[in-house]
Amino acid sequence: MNSIVFSLNVFADLQTMWQYDFMRHAFEAGTIVAIIAGIIGYFIVLRRSSFAAHALSHIGFAGAAGAVLFGLNPIVGLLVFTCGGGIAIATLGRKAAERDVQIGTVLAFMLGLGVLFISLYSGYATEAYSLLFGEILGISATDVFVTLGAALVLLGVVATVYRPLLFTSLDEDVAEAKGISIFWIGIIFMLLVAVATSIAVQVVGVLLIFALMVTPAAVAQRLARRPAQGILISVLIALLATWFGLFVSFYLPYPVSFFITSATFVVYLAVRIF
Amino acid sequence: MNTEALIIAKDLAGGYPSKTVWQGADFSIGKGEFVAVLGPNGAGKTTLFRLLLGLGQPLAGTLSVFGKTPERGNPRIGYVPQQHPIDSETGVEALELVRLGLDGNHWGMGSMNQGRKEAMAALRTVGAEELAHRPLGVLSGGELQRIFLAEALIGKPDLLLLDEPLANLDMRREANFVQLINDVVRKQGVTVLLIAHNINPLLPVLDRVIYVANGRVTNGKPSEILTSKSLTDLYGIPIEVLKDSHGRIAIIGMDEPPEHHHHDHE
């Protein structure tokens, strides 16, 4: 891969990259995931649920590792575990989601469980590595379709619950008095986070999920006055970081996740400083 | 003032299934009345609000609001709850929150600018036009109180329930806010129930007082209720009602022990 020379013509470079299936799939999945992560992330930051989202990705790790052990697609294990965990966190209530000690204890246990599953799977370290840090260059055409399907469902649900979700995120007590079920919005929201996390793991992995789901949204929260603008900014940052990461990693022998997380971190720093 | 009754309580009891907080409440509140709901912490004032909003069920007796059993999501009721937690990092502008008071409980996304004109009008009513595009996270307690009032008023409610809107306001802002609410009541014929700890700033504008204390709910004209004897009975500590040279009254001794402040979840 390193024999290919970087030119200053970005379009020519992209054309070169897209001759490879793995690069095309990576760009397709990365784009879908960045859009979803930007949207769901905005609500995660607005609701101050970032720790719960972080926890869900760790819970998902145990599920993915279990799926690998039983010869299933990791995305199945991810979805089952994150959805189960999401419902559990939502049932405990939003105040419970702020109890970081309890959640931290559970997620440490889940990581441990994941490590056990991985070691039982004939000790393959690459599988664990790609779950923890993402392996976007290994995405198959089927993975892209699964990701697209999940993303379309997510977009449909967000469009449907948009206003009640926004209302409960900003002013829960008034929203409840206006007839919105806080409990059901909470469940729906955590399921959205669960599915978004599951597909994002493919790109940045369990441990780096914050970089796509939370950092761009945190920047958007500081810059935008209107939620629609905030979501747009959040999506744009996630998209640019993902594209940048994929682009650069084509020429340099370092992990894509590193470039993506660095890009969002630099944007975050810049916005905090200026 | 119209005497048509908006709220009628008959032998009403409120609380949790495991514990009755108060019982035997009989009162009716007319259209356009300005009512203060007073009483010590934990006496069940917010419980009464939850019953009116349809968020809780009476343990006994009947309650009717607009001639019907209260139901959640009644658009004729505007509500400002106690203690709004707004994160200081929240960058969403005030106008967007006010807008949600109009259609935040509808499904779907709505259009980008739907309700913005109404939200601006509501902000104008509470004198907070200049706060419209400020992030919620940077507003002071008094400014937020106006935004929440606008959020409650945007749906043009007939009944306004305000849970301790005067907490955390200094004396001047307290007086301004009471004046503001009073303007709304008189001009638009809105009925207001306002939970407060300090009745003094409310005395010039009140029509009626509801006292929730010691498991009972008492109501009447301020002059009937506000006597040293009845207040001392209700609170269980010595309270004096004084009259100044203009015939205005002031109440001394109602301050509560400091360790109870700002943390009641009734």
> In the predicted model, is pLDDT for residue B259 greater than 50?
no
Interface test with B, best of A173, A232, A271 (most B CBs within 10 A): A173
The answer to whether B35 touches B208, Cβ cutoff 8 Å, is: yes
A77 phi, psi to nearest 5 deg: -65, -40
Any CB–CB contact under 8 A between B96 and chain A? yes
Interface of A with B in 223-262 (CB under 8 A): 223-228, 230
Interface test with A, best of B105, B144, B145, B195 (most A CBs within 10 A): B105
The answer to whether A77 touches A67, Cβ cutoff 8 Å, is: yes
H-run or E-run covering B45: helix B45-53
- Distance, in Å, from the CA atom of A189 to the CA atom of A201, rounded to the nearest integer, reads 18
Asked whether the whole model's pTM tops 0.95, one would answer no
Instruction: Report pLDDT digits (tens) over A48-106.
Output: 888 888 889 989 999 999 998 898 888 899 999 999 999 988 888 766 556 677 778 88
Task: For the sheet with B191-195, list strands across it.
Answer: B77-80, B159-163, B191-195, B34-38, B208-213, B216-220
Closest Cβ opposite residue B108 in set A162, A180, A225: A162
Instruction: Report pLDDT digits (tens) over B187-243.
Output: 888 999 999 988 888 988 999 999 898 898 988 888 787 777 777 777 777 877 877
Which of B187, B201, B244 lies closest to B32 in space, CA to CA? B187
Any CB–CB contact under 8 A between A17 and chain B? no
Is the complex ipTM higher than 0.95? no
Scan for tokens 């609001």, then name that residue.
Answer: B65
User: Helix or strand or coil: residue A259?
Assistant: helix
The answer to whether B76 touches B157, Cβ cutoff 8 Å, is: yes
Residue of chain A nearest B114, judged by CA positions: A163
Which of B124, B163, B161, B175 lies closest to B146 in space, CA to CA? B124
- Distance, in Å, from the CA atom of B170 to the CA atom of B182, rounded to the nearest integer, reads 18
Any CB–CB contact under 8 A between A222 and chain B? yes
| Amino acid at site B38 | L
Give the torsion sign (CA, A173, A177, A182, A183).
Answer: positive
- Structural tokens at position A116: 């056990």
Any CB–CB contact under 8 A between A155 and chain B? no
Closest Cβ opposite residue A170 in set B100, B106, B112: B100
Specify which residues B15 forms β-bridges with. B20
Longest dimension (CA), chain B: 59
DSSP string, A25-52: HHHHHHHHHHHHHHHHHHHHHHTT-HHH
Residue of chain B nearest A168, judged by CA positions: B104
Instruction: Report pLDDT digits (tens) over A1-21.
Output: 445 677 878 888 898 899 999
Minimal CA separation from B74 to chain A, in Å: 7
Residues in contact with B214: Cβ distance below 8 Å, sequence separation at least 6, in sequence order: B43, B234, B236
Q: Name chain B contacts of A177, Cβ cutoff 8 Å.
A: 53, 55, 72-73, 77, 79, 81
How many whole angstroms from its chain centre is CA A176? 29
Interface of B with A in 98-137 (CB under 8 A): 100-101, 103-110, 112, 133, 135-136
pLDDT in tens, chain A (274 residues): 445 677 878 888 898 899 999 999 999 999 999 999 999 999 999 998 888 888 899 899 999 999 988 988 888 999 999 999 999 888 887 665 566 777 788 888 888 898 888 888 875 667 778 888 888 888 899 989 999 999 999 999 999 999 999 999 999 999 999 999 999 999 999 999 999 999 998 888 888 888 999 999 999 999 999 999 999 999 999 999 999 999 999 999 888 999 999 999 999 999 998 8
